[in-house]
Structure 1
Amino acid sequence: MSLVVYLAAFVFGMTSVLLFRRPRRAMRNPLTLSTCAAIVLGALVFVCAAPPTLATVNELTGVPNFGAPLTYGMLSAYSCAVLVLLINWRGGTRARVRRLVLRAVAAYGVLVVAIVVLFSLADADTERLTDLDTYYATTPFMREMILLYLVGHSAAMLVMCAVCVKWGREVGGLLRTGLRLILLGALLDVVGFQLAKYTAIVARWTGHDLDFLSTTLAPPMASLAALLCSAGFVLPRLLPSARAQWRGLGDYRRLAPLWSLVRSVSTAPKPPTGWWQLPQARLQWREVSIHDALLALAPYFDHRLRERVRDTALREGRSAHQARLAAEAAMLADAARRAAAREEPPEPTGAYRLHATEVSGTGGLVELAQALVPPPAAPGGAVPPSLAEPEEPHVA
Structure 2
Amino acid sequence: MSLVVYVAAVVFGLSCVVLLRRPATALRDPLTLSTCVAIVLGALVFVCSAPLTLAAVNDLTGVPNFGAPLTYGMLSAYSCSLVVLLINWRGGPRDRVRRLVLRAVAAYALVVVAVVVLFALADADTERLTDLDTYYAGTPYMREMILLYLAGHSAATVVLCVMCVKWGREVTGLLRTGLRLILTGSLLDVVGFQATKYTAVAARWSGHDLDFLSTSVAPHMASLGALTCSAGFVLPRLLPAVVAQWRGLGDYRRLAPLWTLLRFVSNTAPKPPAPWWQSPRERLQWREVSIHDALLALAPYFDDRVRERARDAALRAGRTAHQARLAAEAAMLADAARRAAAREGPLDTPSCHRLHATEVSGTGGLVELAEALARTPAADAVGEGTVRAAHGWNHG
Under a length normalisation based on structure 1, what TM-score does the superposition of the two structures give? 0.93
Shift of 1:168: 1.4
Give the corresponding residue for 2:62.
62
**Is 1:292–2:293 an aligned residue pair?**
yes
Q: Give the Cα–Cα distance (whole angstroms) in 2 for the partners of residues 18 and 387 of structure 1.
A: 42
Q: Give the Cα–Cα distance (whole angstroms) in 2 for the partners of residues 209 and 293 of structure 1.
A: 78
Give the corresponding residue for 1:367.
368
Where 1:361 maps in the other structure, the secondary structure is coil
Shift of 1:273: 3.5
Give the corresponding residue for 2:98.
98
Give the corresponding residue for 1:210.
210
Give the corresponding residue for 1:261.
261
Q: CA-to-partner distance for each residue in 1:149-185, whole Å, 9 max, x for gaps? A: 0000000001111111111121222111111111111
Greater shift, 349-358 or 14-23, is seen at 349-358
**Is the 1:271–1:286 Cα contact (8 Å) retained in structure 2?**
no
Q: Give the Cα–Cα distance (whole angstroms) in 1 for the partners of residues 276 and 104 of structure 2.
A: 42
**Is the 1:374–1:387 Cα contact (8 Å) retained in structure 2?**
no
In the alignment, structure 2 segments of 5+ residues that lack a partner are 383-396
**Is the 1:302–1:335 Cα contact (8 Å) retained in structure 2?**
yes
Shift of 1:274: 4.2
Shift of 1:322: 1.0
Give the corresponding residue for 1:20.
20
Under a length normalisation based on structure 2, what TM-score does the superposition of the two structures give? 0.93
Question: Considering only aligned residues, what root-mean-square deviation do their CA atoms show, in Å?
Answer: 1.8
Q: Which amino acid aligns with 1:143?
A: R
**Is the 1:307–1:327 Cα contact (8 Å) retained in structure 2?**
yes
Shift of 1:350: 4.5
Q: Which amino acid aligns with 2:58?
A: N
Q: CA-to-partner distance for each residue in 1:57-95, whole Å, 9 max, x for gaps? A: 111122111111111111101000000000011111001
Give the corresponding residue for 1:380.
none
**Is 1:130–2:96 an aligned residue pair?**
no
Q: Which amino acid aligns with 1:58?
A: N
Shift of 1:387: 11
Greater shift, 353-362 or 243-252, is seen at 243-252
Give the corresponding residue for 1:336.
337
Q: CA-to-partner distance for each residue in 1:348-394, whole Å, 9 max, x for gaps? A: 2442211100000000000000111138xxxxxxx89x9999xxxxx
Q: Which amino acid aligns with 2:366?
A: L
Give the corresponding residue for 2:246.
246
Give the corresponding residue for 2:391.
none
Q: Give the Cα–Cα distance (whole angstroms) in 2 for the partners of residues 387 and 289 of structure 1.
A: 20
Greater shift, 184-193 or 97-106, is seen at 184-193
**Is the 2:299–2:351 Cα contact (8 Å) retained in structure 1?**
no
Q: For 1:108-119, what aligned pairs fall within 5 Å after superposition?
A: 108-119=108-119
Q: Give the Cα–Cα distance (whole angstroms) in 2 for the partners of residues 368 and 272 of structure 1.
A: 28
**Is 1:161–2:126 an aligned residue pair?**
no
Greater shift, 273-282 or 111-120, is seen at 273-282
Give the corresponding residue for 2:195.
195
Q: Give the Cα–Cα distance (whole angstroms) in 1 for the partners of residues 39 and 137 of structure 2.
A: 29
Greater shift, 199-208 or 333-342, is seen at 333-342
Q: Which amino acid aligns with 2:3?
A: L
Q: Which amino acid aligns with 1:174?
A: L
Where 1:107 maps in the other structure, the secondary structure is helix
Shift of 1:113: 0.9
Q: Give the Cα–Cα distance (whole angstroms) in 2 for the partners of residues 322 and 168 of structure 1.
A: 44
Identity score, percent: 79
Q: Give the Cα–Cα distance (whole angstroms) in 2 for the partners of residues 13 and 388 of structure 1.
A: 53
Give the corresponding residue for 1:271.
272
Greater shift, 253-262 or 295-304, is seen at 295-304
Q: Give the Cα–Cα distance (whole angstroms) in 2 for the partners of residues 264 and 63 of structure 1.
A: 73
Where 2:263 maps in the other structure, the secondary structure is helix
In the alignment, structure 1 segments of 5+ residues that lack a partner are 376-382, 390-396
**Is 1:81–2:75 an aligned residue pair?**
no
Give the corresponding residue for 1:7.
7
Greater shift, 274-283 or 358-367, is seen at 274-283
Q: Give the Cα–Cα distance (whole angstroms) in 2 for the partners of residues 248 and 80 of structure 1.
A: 39
Shift of 1:276: 3.6
Where 2:271 maps in the other structure, the secondary structure is coil
